[in-house]
Amino acid sequence: MSDKPVLSFRFRLSHGAFQVALAHDIRLAGITALFGHSGSGKTTVLRVLAGLESRANGHIAFDGTVWQGEQPRRSFVPPHERAVGYVFQDARLFPHLSVAGNLAFAESRSRHRAPVSDFETVVGRFDLEPLLERRPDSLSGGELQRVAVARALLARPRLLLMDEPLSALDTPRKAEILPYIARLPEQFGVPVIYVTHSVDEVAYLADEMIVLSKGRKVADGPVGETLARLDLGPATGRFEAGVVLEASVVGHDTEYRLTRLDFGGARIEVPMLEAAPGARVRMRLRARDVILAKIRPEQLSSRNIIEGRIVEVVEEPATPFAETLVEIPGGLIRARLTRRSVADLGLAPGVAVFALVKSISLVGGITAVKS
């Protein structure tokens, strides 16, 4: 029997004319992304799970403990008794305390004994030693969020909820803090539910995802399978649509600063990675970065040419575009084309094609697979 905790919830909550209604059961492991456009209800779900929305009607249970029961014998466990850590969009540190003081306060308020390390270990894992004597107003956005996550961990949660913690950061600062978040389940033994509207963050961090739209769940499942679905364009965003593939590092071309990857027998070259041969990596490939051909092209600058076969074609009648799903040796990839191209090439399920991928389009989109 698995020792992974089960989170079960079904509830309704209205904010004026907008209603969030959700029912889901998940065995928590690693990072689960709660994904959707702004206004889809993501933060409301997180607040209900944390016990910050007592008006919600429904049932919530975590690892066999009921946090909220339904009528007529309604029960409600308050936030401080749920053993949940919460990281907000803004750090919300006490401005009059140093970093050390903020962390010590969180540790002193902990009522739970969860598998989280002590003060020194948390400080070391988040590289906070040089910041301990500083006040929050002297920290950068990335430093503030590292402290906020460390503070949440020192409250010894059994579940960590993160509400778009990187939304206020620029791209370089996001790149700095993403690895810290990715390692949370492995290093501290705590599952994470991570709210975001960024497909890049989902691809980098998450193992499973739940997709919300207009207060309802429209999809859930492993990240790779869910992002490959052509029917989720309105919810996931067509411009950023794509897939996530796992590959192994074959070797490096040091002269041209390239790394060779293999996924299921298909080989491609990408800008050089800091990964040893045999290492597993996760690659995000956007549909708009894939070109399809019926005949293998020659003498092109693009060196990544992968044989595949069309699985599905979905045309968008009100637009010039169509989405295609292509089976390749390592899984499925998506290509966003014009409807005219689909017609001219005669693309349909079963048709053999060659997929072209520019190496430069993969810059920043490849990460190490979490063990």
Residue 289 reports pLDDT greater than 70: yes
Residue 362 reports pLDDT greater than 60: yes
Q: In whole numbers, what is the pLDDT of the chain averaged over residues?
A: 89
Q: What is the pLDDT of residues 171-181, one digit of tens each?
A: 888 888 999 99
How is residue 274 annotated by DSSP? Answer: S
Q: What is the pLDDT of residues 252-281, one digit of tens each?
A: 999 999 999 998 888 999 999 988 999 999
Question: β-strands 31-35, 208-213: how paired?
Answer: parallel
Q: What mean pLDDT do residues 52-63 have? A: 92
228 vs 218: CA distance, rounded Å? 14
pLDDT of the residue at 114: 56
pLDDT of the residue at 128: 95
pLDDT band for position 348 (cuts 50, 70, 90): very high
Please say whether the dihedral angle defined by the alpha carbons of residues 228, 230, 235 and 236, taken in this order, is positive or negative.
positive
pLDDT of the residue at 251: 95
Q: What is the pLDDT of residues 90-125, one digit of tens each?
A: 889 999 999 999 999 988 877 665 556 789 999 999
232 or 199, which is more confident? 199
Residue 365 reports pLDDT greater than 80: no
52 vs 82: CA distance, rounded Å? 11
pLDDT band for position 2 (cuts 50, 70, 90): low
16 or 61, which is more confident? 61
Q: What mean pLDDT do residues 38-55 have? A: 93
Q: What is the pLDDT of residues 178-219, one digit of tens each?
A: 999 999 999 999 999 999 998 889 988 999 999 999 999 999
pLDDT of the residue at 237: 67
pLDDT of the residue at 259: 93
**Helices 141-154 and 99-109, interaxial angle, to 10°?**
20
Query: What are the structure tokens assigned to 46, written together?
Result: 């997180």
Residue 290 reports pLDDT greater than 90: yes
Residue from 136, 38, 42, 31 nearest 91 by CA: 136
Q: What is the pLDDT of residues 150-169, one digit of tens each?
A: 999 998 899 999 999 998 88
Residue from 165, 175, 211, 234 nearest 32 by CA: 211
Query: Tokens 């364009």 label which residue?
Result: 233
pLDDT of the residue at 1: 36
Beta bridge partners of 160: 85, 192
Question: β-strands 290-293, 208-213: how paired?
Answer: unpaired
Query: String of b and e for 237-247 (b: at least 16 CB within 10 Å)?
Result: ebebbbbbbeb
Residue 49 reports pLDDT greater than 50: yes
Q: What mean pLDDT do residues 76-102 have? A: 92
Residue 127, Ramachandran bin (φ over 0: left; ψ between -120 and 50: alpha; else beta): left
